Amino acid sequence: MFLSQLSQQKVLPVLVLESVQQADWIGSCFIEAGMKHLEVTLRTPAALQVIEYLNRHFPELSIGAGTVLKSYQIAGAVDAGADFIVAPGATDPLLDAGQDCPVPFLPGVMTPSEAMRARDYGFGLQKFFPAEAAGGAHLLKAIGAPLQDILFCPTGGITPKNMMDYLALKNVPVVGGSWLVTPQILADNDRQSVVNRLSQLQQLLGK
């Protein structure tokens, strides 16, 4: 269910939100643009409050907690109402905690060995990070030949220019990226830009 919905959306916006005030207008932009899934990174002091707020006020949205670095953060994010969890790496404690996690957990990987190890733990959808710096769509295509039962969400350096190269791959149902909601847009409270960007993205994806 989660995977099929995420595959339909094709792009997972990654956001760094500083306050529930930002969360309020950002949440309404996603509703207006008809986009369901977004990732809120745990990089600001308000991140958990933001997840809680979005979960309470926009129940139609599916909120991921991103930049999860420590295993205890998984429980904190789930308690705040996170619908899925994304990590930039795959430490032993994260892989262990991810197995007990009641919502989908995407560990971060960059090499075949890391991907195989995370697959052994049961994680069939993984964040490929940092995608462009690691070798981009070429690398993922090459990895896909032997590792046929692993799907990736490439993140890190994805842009409207290169995202289709990734989405053309069999092992890439969705890409992630922060380009849709920039720090400048947030600083300007520029709601219209976010709505426009999300709508343009939908058009680019043929929706």
Binding site for ligand 3PG (CB under 6 A): 14, 41, 66-67, 155-158, 176-179
Q: What is the largest CA-CA distance in the chain?
A: 46
Q: Which of residues 55 and 67 has its CB atom nearest to ligand 3PG in the complex? A: 67
- Catalytic residue chosen out of the listed positions 39, 114, 141, 170: 39
27 vs 176 by CB, closer to ligand 3PG: 176
Ramachandran bin of 176, using left for φ above 0, alpha for ψ from -120 to 50, beta for the remaining angles: beta
Please pick, among 36, 70, 127, 170, the residue that the annotation labels catalytic: 127
> CA–CA distance from 159 to each of 65, 81, 98 (Å)?
21, 29, 29
- The whole-angstrom separation of Cα 189 and Cα 172 is 32
As a whole number of angstroms, the distance between CA 58 and CA 46 comes to: 17
CB of 145 to ligand 3PG, least distance (A): 25
Minimum separation from the CB atom of position 129 to ligand 3PG (A): 6
Closer residue to ligand 3PG, CB minimum distance, 43 or 57: 43
- Displacement of CA 24 from its chain's centroid (Å): 19
**Measured from the CB atom, is 27 or 108 closer to ligand 3PG?**
108
Q: Give, in order, the Cα–Cα distances in Å from 204 to each of 28, 55, 119, 207.
A: 21, 28, 32, 8
Return the number of the residue (100 or 105) whose C-beta is nearest ligand 3PG.
Answer: 105
Radius of gyration of the chain (CA): 16
Collapse the DSSP code of 45 into the 3-class scheme (helix H, G, I; strand E, B; otherwise coil) and give the result: coil
Is 127 designated active site?
yes
CB of 49 to ligand 3PG, least distance (A): 19
Token pair listed for 12: 């997972």
CB of 134 to ligand 3PG, least distance (A): 12
Instruction: Kindly state the smallest distance separating residue 178's Cβ from ligand 3PG, in Å.
Output: 4
The torsion defined by the Cα of 152, 137, 8 and 80, in degrees rounded to 10, comes to 50
Residues designated catalytic: 39, 127
